Structure 1
Amino acid sequence: MHKRFCNFLLVIALLALGSGCTGKFTDINKNPYDFTEADLKGDFQLMGAPITQAQLYLIHYNDPPTAQLQQNLNADIFSGYMMSPTPFEGNINNMNYGLLYIWNNYPWNEVYHWVMKPCVFAQEKSGDKYPDFYAWATIMKVEAMHRISDTYGPIIYSHFGDTNKENTFEYDSQRDVYYRFFHDLDTAINLLTNYVNAGNPQRFQAFDLVYKGDYTKWIKFANTLRLRLAIRINGADKDKARKEGEAALKHPLGLLQDAKENFAVDISPVTHPLNIMCYTWADLRMSAPMESILTGYNDPRLPRYFVHTDEGANVYRGIRNGIRISLKEQYTGYSKITMLDNKIQYMAAAEAWFLKAEASLNGWDGAGSAAYNYEKGVSTSFSQYGLTTVNDYLQNDTSKPAPYVDPVNRDNNVPAGNKHLSTITIKWNEGASDEEKLERIITQKWIAMFPEGTEAWSEFRRTGYPKLFPVVINNSNNTINTEKFIRRLPFPQIEQVTNPKALLRAKKMLNGDDNGGTQLWWDTK
């Protein structure tokens, strides 16, 4: 870990200890960094070290138990990527919609405390004097907070750190916060582009764990993030989506293009937290949809993602979500994930091409050909894993997702002809309907984004693709429709304790009750 960042954390720890315990909960929604610039003087550390922290804590990089609750036992499962063989809490837990409120505090608490606060602090200290650092902090803030909004809905964003006469921290509706995301990204992209065009020095290399201080790549990432968010709201606000999407598509520096530009945080020498969950704890295995789709397509990425079972070199088994599990040992023999490297990926460059493919379907200027973008998305994903057989794969117009068979319990099977088993093939079909084209795009996008479950869950909710298998056991007490899947997490309990009046107003911004079955603003499928 960078020495400068360690020094920064030491200062934070000392301040936190000095503040006592009484402010622990309310501090989540306000900024505690009251020390002076002299405390962290030198080498842009005052602005850079907090953004390093923000990168590292998008998922709690060095605390696997926290990371497990922050994302793995919600989005990674809900996305259809993974499943746990462990019957947590007597097999009544998030995986079968028996939502555990203690678990569901974690996505909110971790990001507000470890990411939102440092980004706002860096913005405040950068101001007009350091526009590059201001832009960088802004991009990181949007990257973190759109994930939180896509998990809960309304969030505290534009009013972060501002208390009113009721001593509450007000929420933005999801529509309003998305508009704010676009405004902030536009500001950051313009600032950084102007800074680069003026030939100014690139100054945050020592703090950047993603692109090593390459400002052009940060602009391309921000453009791609803008396009991601524009595509996301197209079902709810077509005019705004087109405006923002076309702005991203037409920017002269463009989008992410190849796997070398993946947005992935280097957490070396710490191992990826998913490795601990899978290999040390045996709490993580392949999902049934992953088995169905990857084996059905005979996808060359399969052994790059998962490990075959002891049954044979070509045998992969995934666990269906929301099933009856009595003992952990029933399913621990199913396929593990392949050991991941020391980078946590939040956006693969392949996603940019799939976003452009969908923008083409929408008729947005600057998107180009849907067919070309689709094939570039697949080929970019293949190149990420050093695979050279993409041409044969893209010409395959017969392979389809395979029926799912659970050797432990046939009640979990998904046979041929089941409505939840997709029949989509790989080869692009220009004569297909737009809906079939969309399913083809999103299915390949879902494969390419692995293992980033938060984004995959959002895309599934938005589009209904790829087709996933509903839970067998639904412990939601009728708050989540089995056929419609889980749509969001309820607001965290800590907000009920520390911010109840604002929370009550936030709940009224929802399209229904504060439970896992209520669809978000952009979730119009």
Structure 2
Amino acid sequence: MRKIYYIVLSVVLTMSTASCDSWLDINTDPNKATEVDPDVLYNYAMMSWAANRCSGDLYFPLVWGGQTQSTGGSKGWGNVNVYDISPYSLGNTWKVFYASSGANLQQAIKIAESASPARPNVAAQCKINFAHLVYTATILHGDIPYSEGWNIAIDYPKFDTQKDILEGLIVLLDQAIAQIDVNSRLTMTKYDLAYGGDLDKWVRYANSLKFRIAMVMVDKDPSKTTMIANLLNANKMINSSAGDFKIPFEDAADKENPKFRYFKKYTNGVNIEFFANKLVVDPLNAKNDPRLPKYFDKGVSAATFIGIGANDEAVTGQTALVSSFVFRAKSPELFFSYQEQLFLEAEAYARGLGVAKDISKANQLYKQAMIAAMKYYEVTDADINKYVSENLSDLTTLSDPVREIHLQQWIDFMDRPLEAFTQWRRSGKEGFEVPELPIPRNASPAKLMRRWTYSPDEASANPNTPSVDVMTDKVWFDE
């Protein structure tokens, strides 16, 4: 861990002496090249994290392994759809958690808090994103280094339990919220690509992260219903699409979304490898959902949108592909959305988690979530209104309204595979998840993926690394 930390910090110090593009727009006093601006560290950390979420290291294996999209027969991508994930993907993603993003956020916090005058708002902003980053790491891997993970004096950090980590992240988010001073001008704005220094949005985002964590934990730790109730009653979570936490990309050279850049580099800018999964397409087709032409491009010879199974062979001209709209150059990387918040709230009321069960209230929130999801993908108001009046499910008439909420939440995550993977695992006990995923052909062992194993580099270097040999083992929250 210590070696990785020093390497990454030296890279950022080098970057701080030069001017880069608008993502890493770094201009510092050359006489203070060793005094890294926490805003610069934050910017580097967030762009590294956003790029990883869109990359072949994280996005590709999860979107195929989690079955929100299909390989069409692998198309040269090996066997990631049956969980044979490259050690480079595992290692590079681990380095984002513990070096390029994690270590730099930790350093930014220290610098902001020790500055004269101190910059508590910058520290709080970094803590909120750090909590989200660590949440991502533990949701993916289970037990990970947390309490000792970024301590450069410790070569072999211990692995904390997932439950302890999630509890610690709730505490960290509360500390960040308490640290925010809305009257202070010492706030990060230019490098805050998501909110531009709007502290009210930061507080709401932090509370929404707490709510997400509680909803992940509640089935294993029913005491989290109290926290869920308190957050619902306080009404200080993300409350509009303006509160989406997302990192923008641009339709300009070297500033495009990494998925677009992949196609630009290898396939002349055309998607020929990411196909529509029938588990997403079929429910959308059944209700003539207007998101269909936003999510997918029809096969050139097809009259309808046709999806396939996880690793079934695509039929040229017939099978739908993930759309050029989804993979456009300026598609932002979305970390937390308004519709996600609404779906979670709808679930809480439908299940009676900390509040009285209220299907009518759940139905209102579900409707708002569906509308927000469609607006995010730029569906027209006319098409949304038509869908709502003719095809939107009424939860009050369904025998299992919670299942419908889970399904639509998962569908909304079609292009957010990490969140889809988490949503699927928490949607029900093993064998009762939503949707029911088939075991991909040739998967070994013949089970569904439930986690990622650890980085081979970490496993060989740190004797405290738990023995996790297969990706079908469960993490703590997964029943």
Normalised to the residue count of structure 2, the TM-score between the two structures is: 0.82
Shift of 1:73: 2.4
Amino acid at match of 2:434: P
| Matching residue within 381, 387, 394 for 1:393 | 387
Cα 1:275/1:118, change in 2 over 3 Å? same
Matching residue of 2:21: none
Alignment of 1:201-220 (within 5 A): 201=185, 203-220=187-204
2:433 paired with 1:445: no
Shift of 1:378: 1.0
Alignment of 1:483-498 (within 5 A): 485-498=448-461
The 8 Å contact of residues 58 and 89 in structure 2, kept in 1 or not, is answered as no
Amino acid at match of 1:290: V
| Matching residue within 88, 108, 114 for 1:122 | 108
The 8 Å contact of residues 266 and 344 in structure 1, kept in 2 or not, is answered as yes
Matching residue of 1:275: 260
Alignment of 1:315-326 (within 5 A): 315-323=304-312
| Matching residue within 235, 249, 263 for 2:232 | 249
Distance (Å, rounded) in 1 between the aligned partners of 2:334 and 2:315: 30
Distance (Å, rounded) in 1 between the aligned partners of 2:276 and 2:285: 12
| Matching residue within 74, 84, 89 for 1:98 | 84
Distance (Å, rounded) in 2 between the aligned partners of 1:266 and 1:336: 20
Cα 1:83/1:130, change in 2 over 3 Å? same
Matching residue of 1:380: 372
Matching residue of 2:68: 81
The 8 Å contact of residues 217 and 477 in structure 2, kept in 1 or not, is answered as yes
Amino acid at match of 2:130: K
Superposition misfits of 4+ residues, deviation over 6 angstroms:
none
2:173 paired with 1:185: yes
Amino acid at match of 2:475: L
Secondary structure of 1:207 counterpart? coil
Matching residue of 2:95: 109
Q: What are the Cα deviations for residues 443-473 of structure 1, in whole angstroms up to 9, with x where unaligned? A: 1222333411101110001115531441441
Shift of 1:15: 8.9
Matching residue of 1:169: 157
Shift of 1:395: 4.8
Distance (Å, rounded) in 2 between the aligned partners of 1:226 and 1:386: 30
The 8 Å contact of residues 229 and 353 in structure 2, kept in 1 or not, is answered as no
Amino acid at match of 2:196: K
Distance (Å, rounded) in 2 between the aligned partners of 1:333 and 1:172: 44
Secondary structure of 2:310 counterpart? coil
Alignment of 1:450-465 (within 5 A): 450-464=414-428, 465=433
The 8 Å contact of residues 85 and 331 in structure 1, kept in 2 or not, is answered as no
The 8 Å contact of residues 139 and 222 in structure 1, kept in 2 or not, is answered as yes
Distance (Å, rounded) in 2 between the aligned partners of 1:396 and 1:112: 49
Matching residue of 1:38: 32
Alignment of 1:402-441 (within 5 A): 426-430=392-396, 432-433=398-399, 436-441=400-405
Unaligned residue ranges in structure 2 (runs of 5+): 1-7, 17-29
Amino acid at match of 1:118: N
Matching residue of 2:57: 70
Matching residue of 1:337: 323
Cα 1:342/1:516, change in 2 over 3 Å? same
Amino acid at match of 1:137: C
Amino acid at match of 1:176: D
Amino acid at match of 1:83: S
Secondary structure of 2:39 counterpart? helix
Shift of 1:141: 0.6
Distance (Å, rounded) in 2 between the aligned partners of 1:201 and 1:207: 15
Distance (Å, rounded) in 1 between the aligned partners of 2:186 and 2:304: 49
Matching residue of 1:144: 133
2:55 paired with 1:56: no
Shift of 1:147: 1.2
Amino acid at match of 1:337: S
Q: What are the Cα deviations for residues 400-438 of structure 1, in whole angstroms up to 9, with x where unaligned? A: xxxxxxxxxxxxxxxxxxxxxxxxxx41232545xx221
2:339 paired with 1:350: yes
Distance (Å, rounded) in 1 between the aligned partners of 2:317 and 2:461: 40
Shift of 1:290: 2.1
2:299 paired with 1:309: yes
Amino acid at match of 2:394: W
Distance (Å, rounded) in 1 between the aligned partners of 2:317 and 2:263: 12
Q: What are the Cα deviations for residues 324-362 of structure 1, in whole angstroms up to 9, with x where unaligned? A: x5xx99689642323333411122211111111112123
The 8 Å contact of residues 274 and 321 in structure 2, kept in 1 or not, is answered as no
Amino acid at match of 1:372: Q
2:464 paired with 1:502: yes
Cα 1:520/1:344, change in 2 over 3 Å? same
Cα 1:372/1:463, change in 2 over 3 Å? same
The 8 Å contact of residues 51 and 140 in structure 1, kept in 2 or not, is answered as no
Distance (Å, rounded) in 2 between the aligned partners of 1:517 and 1:299: 33
Distance (Å, rounded) in 1 between the aligned partners of 2:31 and 2:388: 55
Matching residue of 1:475: 443
| Matching residue within 273, 282, 292 for 1:292 | 282
The 8 Å contact of residues 276 and 322 in structure 2, kept in 1 or not, is answered as yes
Shift of 1:57: 1.8
The 8 Å contact of residues 257 and 350 in structure 1, kept in 2 or not, is answered as no
Matching residue of 1:519: 474
Shift of 1:145: 1.6
Cα 1:94/1:429, change in 2 over 3 Å? same
Matching residue of 1:227: 211
Shift of 1:106: 2.9
Amino acid at match of 1:370: A
2:363 paired with 1:371: yes
Q: How many residue pairs get matched?
A: 436
Secondary structure of 1:474 counterpart? coil
Amino acid at match of 2:67: G
The 8 Å contact of residues 157 and 464 in structure 2, kept in 1 or not, is answered as yes
Secondary structure of 1:346 counterpart? strand
Distance (Å, rounded) in 2 between the aligned partners of 1:287 and 1:174: 31
Distance (Å, rounded) in 1 between the aligned partners of 2:384 and 2:74: 39
The 8 Å contact of residues 246 and 335 in structure 2, kept in 1 or not, is answered as yes
Q: Give the RMSD, CA atoms, in angstroms.
A: 3.1
The 8 Å contact of residues 41 and 104 in structure 2, kept in 1 or not, is answered as yes
Distance (Å, rounded) in 1 between the aligned partners of 2:357 and 2:207: 13
Shift of 1:109: 2.1
The 8 Å contact of residues 228 and 353 in structure 2, kept in 1 or not, is answered as no
Shift of 1:9: 9.0
Shift of 1:365: 4.2
Shift of 1:186: 1.0
Point out the more displaced range, 211-220 or 361-370.
361-370
2:148 paired with 1:154: no
Shift of 1:158: 1.8
Amino acid at match of 2:423: E
Q: What are the Cα deviations for residues 190-247 of structure 1, in whole angstroms up to 9, with x where unaligned? A: 222xx12xx22262111111111111111111111111111011111110x2233234
